[in-house]
Structure 1
Amino acid sequence: MTRSRKNAKSCDEPSVARGSSSATSSGNFDHEIAQLTKLRSGPNEYMSKMLGRKSKDLISPVKMLAARESNCLRKSKFSTADGCHMLNRYLPVNGPYLVDQMESCAYVSQFSSDGSLLVAGYQGSHIRIYNVERGWKVQKDIVARSLRWTITDTSLSPDKRYLVYSSMSPIVHIVDLGSSVVESLANVTEIHEGLDLSIANGEDDYNNFSIFAVKFSADGREVLAASSDNSIYVYDLPTNKRTLRILAHEEDVNTVCFADESGHLIYSGGDDSLCKVWDRRCLASRCQPAGTLMGHLEGITFIDSRGDGRYLISNGKDQTIKLWDIRKMSSSSACVTSPRNYDWDYRWMEYPAAFKDMKHPNDQSLATYKGHTVLSTLIRCHFSPEYSTGQKYIYTGSNDGAVYTYDLVSGALVSKLSHHKTTVRDCSWHPYLPIMISSSWDGMIIRCEFPGDEENPPPLKRRCHRRY
């Protein structure tokens, strides 16, 4: 969607994921997050000893259940980590099952925080909200207002009462989902209020730009946005005005998110290939980032926070996902961008094969994951759910029509779901159930799950794809 520079010709078939230079040759890395992940997603040491677990072997769920029932574990229920250890072997890989299909590209697919709703945004102005608990029935069909090119992003408020959506425009629209209206046609059957980010304190900045990402704050009072004018915006809903603009990057800001529920820290990523950390408590005294993370060779398409205010992952146009610890960030004055001496545009060109193994000379990332392709659009990546997996995995869409899942610690490719004919821009893992949703430019919203509720899923009707 946004423009990243530089290219050459074609790219070889990507290899299976591996760790970055900070990892050992086996792909493992010795870092605090590796230990935290193991504590969250594996059985405790006492259980391992009781059941005679050998190194790196999975404990049988039958043995775990038998030990609990016989009171060998000296407790009446499993810990959260025990539960994750059992659930981690049941990945959402069965299917595919068609949720919906439209004639336009599907750009966004995200579960609500409780998993009861699925939001999908399409290029052809539709945003559909599906009720997961009622057989994926369309609960609300929103026809966007003042659409420019496509729906770029959507975000549900924490209470699921409101939805904001963005387009290639400085105006973000908000819809009240509490009404009984199913067919929500902008300003005909329902009001879609416009939040104009180009206006501050009643004065127009006279700046026409695009919004690429929007996020509700944890308390639902603010909307955070990333834009093509190199800026981050914050809009305050109770006062109905823009309260913050940060000139954040040297090029388009493609992605932005809150680091945790406090809302103090913000992560951003742009086409200048940098991830930046912003502390809102310090912005009044100096409008500078708290720190910068270097390592990507090309623009950053998406950032996902682990939710702890410390770790994040980023998807890059250099065909990699990187894992970061903000304690390793540098000051902006010490930041060094990787030199570009080739002409390449990711929207219609393959990534140069000669550059796929290049490394940033000052790479600060903890690990690098390869295998998927980040081309044509701002493809998204995410941490797997905490409840069912202990955030043991990261997963991403890909230009080759697949969803890739990597083991966070080892970097191994755990699964590859190849059910689309073309670009998967977004994907979402249910926060509690083994269900994975993917949205593709073939217009389909597809779900995979474990164990699967259909013995013989109906054939998917595919349409001819037109490249946008």
Structure 2
Amino acid sequence: MGYAMSRLDIESDLFDGGNAITESGSSNKPDEPLRKVDDEIAQLTNLSSGPPDGLCRFMPGKQQLPVSPVRMLAGREGNFSGRGRFSSADRCHMLSRYLPVHGPWLVDQTTSRAYVSQFSADGSLFVAGFQGSNIRIYDADRGWKVQKNIIAKSLRWTVTDTSLSPISAISRRETSTAYTELVTHVYTSMSPIVHIVNVGSATTESHANVTEIHEGLDFISDDYRGYSFGIFSVKFSNDGRELVAGSSDDSIYVYDLEANKLSLRIVAHTADVNTVTFADESGNLIYSGSDDNLCKVWDRRCFIAKDKPAGVLMGHLEGITFVDSRGDGRYFISNGKDQTIKLWDIRKMSSNTSCNLEFRNHEWDYRWMDYPPHARDLKHPCDQSVATYKGHSVLRTLIRCYFSPHGTTVHLHRISRFSVYIYDVVTGAQVAELKHHTSPVRDCSWHPSYPMLVSSSWDGDVVKWEFPGNGEAPSPTNNKRVRSQYYY
């Protein structure tokens, strides 16, 4: 199953310098040959998930691919690597063979639409935001019990995004007498205020300014024009010291948590900035995506002119709903309303955004209309993407896409109307489809170290998908099986 699910053959011609193919499609036709993206990312992905070098050197006999878990465990116990533990490549090779397709198992069931979901950096906490004013944080290590039930403050319409601070990098907030260390969570809505909450407090019920203080971080800059705007996307930096946000006033904001003030505003696009993220650990690079169809790269070290990006990436024919970084400061993916996900290499970016799109002659609103069938075959004349993945639908809401975590970088997932799809980055092949939800699946999140995925939907269900080694059901008492299960 591991090989069939991953479609990853280390001995393939990916290392033979074959012709690069700049577009990778996903097809359910079994006779259609799998295609690959350009050689560099193929090699990077395969090397990071290839057989461990230590085992190849020290264990006798011809290596079979993939290396069995028993042999890998024996190599670790024998300290063949000299480290006494698995390397990141070892973990990737192990986990990439076990996709989270077993389930679903119920985490929570509500009558409200679930909009956002996210694991903490160490996987111990999971946060889900629902329509209305409710945000729940679950203790994933202790039976998925609700650790914090947050009633949001000053909410407009719904929770548009949430973010947990990295557990290993605790934010420091100044009080009247001393500095207090907090494990923090922020949430946003269609307002210029981001609210920050102490997740580590003992109180389960968190009512704003009643049981706990939900401190408001003001994102209104000095050049405020006197109109209100909403924040669509917010992310912590890897060190937990900053927040980056994308807004409905076409701007990107950076907030310094230590100084407790807004440090940067960029008028970044000509339409709503639906999504932003830090590119890597340094926090210097920022990726953004907008309804102006463009992805942009911002380098805070070398702003040549006010509001000028380091580069622009063209290829989507409709607005961008989400971007996610591979974490290496080079590759990222974006989901578009044109029903495609694109993989980008920022070394292909340019400063020129002038491109003729006169062939786009259809009127379409993703909130209530199906995408025109003829438009699915259109291609951007100046497409700079490395690969394109098709097959899902963007309808009614801004769905998201992600790379799998560092330990399982072979796959990414993307969300269809009612399903979660997992695709192989290298070949573009669909390797799993998770069916359970009866309404749009807006978000889902990979566990950072286990083969586990949690999906949240407008049907109010928050469910997890796993790959237990023995194929049996997980044991925690609150893991009630929900409805029927399907997987491809």
TM range (shorter): 0.7 to 0.9
Give the match for residue 460 of structure 1.
482
Instruction: Answer yes or no: is 1:386 the counterpart of 2:381.
Output: no
Conserved? CA contact 1:273–1:337, under 8 Å: no
Give the match for residue 5 of structure 1.
none
Distance in structure 1 (CA, Å) of the matches to 2:314 and 2:79: 50
Q: How does 1:275-424 map to 2 (within 5 A)?
A: 275-283=295-303, 285-331=305-351, 333-336=352-355, 338-339=357-358, 340-387=360-407, 389=408, 391-399=409-417, 401-424=418-441
Q: Secondary structure at the match of 1:43?
A: coil
Distance in structure 2 (CA, Å) of the matches to 1:259 and 1:21: 22
Give the match for residue 215 of structure 2.
193
Give the one of 279, 285, 302 matched to 1:265.
285
Conserved? CA contact 2:34–2:428, under 8 Å: no
Q: Secondary structure at the match of 1:349?
A: coil
Segment drifting more, 159-168 vs 101-110? 159-168
Displacement after TM superposition at 1:189 (Å): 1.1
Conserved? CA contact 1:198–1:205, under 8 Å: no
Conserved? CA contact 2:314–2:353, under 8 Å: no
Displacement after TM superposition at 1:130 (Å): 0.3
Segment drifting more, 156-165 vs 128-137? 156-165
Displacement after TM superposition at 1:458 (Å): 3.8
Conserved? CA contact 2:110–2:460, under 8 Å: yes
CA 1:48/1:129 → structure 2, altered by over 3 Å: closer, same or farther? same
Q: Secondary structure at the match of 1:96?
A: strand
Point out where structure 2 has 5 or more consecutive residues left out of the alignment.
1-19, 26-32, 171-182
Distance in structure 1 (CA, Å) of the matches to 2:300 and 2:92: 35
Distance in structure 2 (CA, Å) of the matches to 1:129 and 1:334: 42
Distance in structure 2 (CA, Å) of the matches to 1:357 and 1:106: 32
Distance in structure 1 (CA, Å) of the matches to 2:158 and 2:395: 17
Deviations 1:249-301, CA, capped at 9 Å, x for gaps: 11111000011111111100001111000111223744200000011111110
Distance in structure 2 (CA, Å) of the matches to 1:100 and 1:449: 16
Give the match for residue 8 of structure 2.
none
Displacement after TM superposition at 1:373 (Å): 1.4
Give the match for residue 87 of structure 1.
95
Conserved? CA contact 1:199–1:205, under 8 Å: no
Displacement after TM superposition at 1:241 (Å): 2.2
Give the match for residue 212 of structure 1.
232
Matched AA of 1:98: L
Distance in structure 1 (CA, Å) of the matches to 2:342 and 2:185: 30
Distance in structure 1 (CA, Å) of the matches to 2:155 and 2:54: 57
CA 1:298/1:375 → structure 2, altered by over 3 Å: closer, same or farther? same
Distance in structure 1 (CA, Å) of the matches to 2:117 and 2:196: 17
Give the match for residue 10 of structure 2.
none
Segment drifting more, 278-287 vs 131-140? 278-287
Give the one of 435, 438, 444 matched to 2:452.
435
Give the match for residue 176 of structure 1.
198
Displacement after TM superposition at 1:376 (Å): 1.2
What TM-score do you get using the length of structure 2 for normalisation?
Answer: 0.83
Count of aligned pairs:
436
Give the match for residue 466 of structure 2.
449
Give the match for residue 246 of structure 1.
266
Deviations 1:320-378, CA, capped at 9 Å, x for gaps: 111100000011x3442634321000111111111112111111111111122122111
Conserved? CA contact 2:405–2:447, under 8 Å: yes
Distance in structure 2 (CA, Å) of the matches to 1:329 and 1:293: 5
Displacement after TM superposition at 1:146 (Å): 1.0
Conserved? CA contact 2:95–2:450, under 8 Å: no
Distance in structure 2 (CA, Å) of the matches to 1:141 and 1:346: 32
Conserved? CA contact 2:117–2:445, under 8 Å: yes
Distance in structure 1 (CA, Å) of the matches to 2:483 and 2:82: 53
Matched AA of 1:129: I
Give the match for residue 51 of structure 2.
43
Displacement after TM superposition at 1:81 (Å): 2.0
Distance in structure 2 (CA, Å) of the matches to 1:223 and 1:284: 23
Q: Secondary structure at the match of 2:141?
A: helix
Conserved? CA contact 2:106–2:463, under 8 Å: yes
Displacement after TM superposition at 1:420 (Å): 0.5
Give the match for residue 163 of structure 1.
185
CA 1:283/1:138 → structure 2, altered by over 3 Å: closer, same or farther? same
CA 1:150/1:69 → structure 2, altered by over 3 Å: closer, same or farther? closer
Distance in structure 2 (CA, Å) of the matches to 1:377 and 1:209: 19
Deviations 1:77-114, CA, capped at 9 Å, x for gaps: 65432332222221111111110111110001100000
Matched AA of 2:284: H
Give the one of 113, 117, 121 matched to 1:113.
121
Percent identity (aligned): 61
Give the match for residue 9 of structure 1.
none
Distance in structure 2 (CA, Å) of the matches to 1:75 and 1:187: 50
CA 1:205/1:88 → structure 2, altered by over 3 Å: closer, same or farther? same
Q: Secondary structure at the match of 1:133?
A: coil
Structure scoring higher RCO (CA < 8 A, sep ≥ 6) equals 1
Q: Secondary structure at the match of 1:356?
A: helix
Point out where structure 1 has 5 or more consecutive residues left out of the alignment.
1-18, 463-468
Distance in structure 1 (CA, Å) of the matches to 2:263 and 2:88: 40
Matched AA of 1:419: H
What TM-score do you get using the length of structure 1 for normalisation?
Answer: 0.87
Conserved? CA contact 1:164–1:173, under 8 Å: yes
Distance in structure 1 (CA, Å) of the matches to 2:81 and 2:243: 46
